[in-house]
Amino acid sequence: MLNLLGQVFVYVAPFLLVLTVIVTIHELGHFLVARAFGVKVDRFSIGFGRSLVSHTDKHGIEWRLGWLPLGGYVKFSGDLDSSAVPDQAGLETLRQDIVAEHGPGAERDYFYFKPIWQRALIVAAGPAANFILAITIFTLLFSALGVSVVPARVAEVFPDSAAARAGFQVDDRVIKVGGREITDFRDVGQSVALSAGSPLDFVVLRGGREVNLTATPVRTVRDDPISGPVRVGYLGLGWNPQPGEVAYIRYPPHRALVQAVRQTGDVLGTTLTYLGRIATGKESGDLLSGPLGIAKAAGGVTKQAAAATSDLGLQIANVSLMLIQFAAIVSIGIGFLNLLPIPVLDGGHLLFYGYEAVARRPVPANVQEVGYRVGLALLVGLMLFATWNDLQKLSLFKFLGGLAS
């Protein structure tokens, strides 16, 4: 029983903490931009279900904490269905109801009667807030703590590997991969991991001159200490940086901001690359994770950070630092997910607003209904697929099979 409680604390508590912070920032993005445009808001809720704690401020906004901490929402006044955009007939009915209750002109304070550009900015503000959160975290980390930079010098070339067949040699220093300049050996690993079965062009420094090499990473299963077993590209290079090769750089605030934006862009670029490879059949999608995978990763980060030292104070500091970095990565993922052009997500709303801007009228109700059903099916399917991946990585089926045997 105590062990179970310990596992819950290690895996579930960090996950809920990170998720709550990210969701709060996301919803604050919607809320703050909406209030800046004078939109009336009924409720700001973190968590779903019955209210645990609530407070209504002088503006009539209910601030609520729900008992199920797996999301949140902002409810605009007059918003009967947060997943839909009223069509022309629905807007007229809503307008009449508002005017009848509050008088002529009152509808101008309601979300659906704001100009399209304002509604689009309000919707986009949620994902934007996620990206801003990540950039802010990275900026603070790069300026306060700095970042380690390790040249990509090859310490070992494993026999019969893709690297050996391509002609890599010990002490080669990788300076470009796929035309992209490399400053850290971890950048090489990231490029290789997402290129299984696809030729990669390398430029290495060897004896003071540049040498061009082409290697095709092979797919292999790697047991990642944080995310569990994953299938990634493998080249067959060993890295063993010497103490004198490791440089620690603390950036001044303005340069830290530039690096933070670049880091956020790199994460988004990696995500798009992986999705593109899934679409072209080059990846199976087994790296996609759902809530279980994120919870496992949060627990892995927590355990790894705590194991780095036996001092309780340093353990707390390490765990806090690692979870902050983890929150930045997850925040980028949630921001990106919400921008997908799928009805029920922010990107779907923006898609509808794009139609409205061109056609000068909202999307017809019957089209919206079909769109939301298809979008919900796609989203549920994606979540089920990601959850299946998570269960396989957790080896749950092997565990259940062992119980049954």
Give the tens place of pLDDT for each residue, 8-67.
566 777 888 888 899 999 999 999 999 999 999 999 999 888 889 999 999 899 999 988
**Does one domain contain both 139 and 167?**
no
Which residues constitute the domain of residue 206? 147-249
- Average pLDDT for residues 140-165, to the nearest whole number? 90
Bridge partners, residue 41, by sequence? 76
Checking if the pLDDT of 285 tops 80, the result is no
- Average pLDDT for residues 218-237, to the nearest whole number? 78
Question: If you average pLDDT over each of 146-160, 215-229, 230-244, 303-317, which comes out highest?
Answer: 146-160
**Does one domain contain both 152 and 207?**
yes
93 belongs to a structural domain? no
**Does one domain contain both 382 and 244?**
no
Checking if the pLDDT of 401 tops 60, the result is no
The structural domain count of the chain equals 2
- Average pLDDT for residues 122-138, to the nearest whole number? 96
Q: How far apart are CA 172 and CA 189, in angstroms?
A: 15
What are the residues whose beta carbons fall under 8 Å from the beta carbon of 236, sequence distance 6 or more? 157, 158, 161, 162, 163, 164
Catalytic residues: 27
- Please say which residue of 200, 218, 249 terminates a domain: 249
Q: How far apart are CA 270 and CA 314, in angstroms?
A: 32
Name the helix (H) or strand (E) containing 385: helix 365-393
**Does one domain contain both 238 and 294?**
no
Give the tens place of pLDDT for each residue, 154-209.
999 999 999 999 999 999 999 999 888 888 888 898 889 888 889 999 999 998 89
Q: What is the pTM of this model?
A: 0.85
Give the tens place of pLDDT for each residue, 308-346.
677 777 778 887 888 888 899 999 999 999 999 988 889
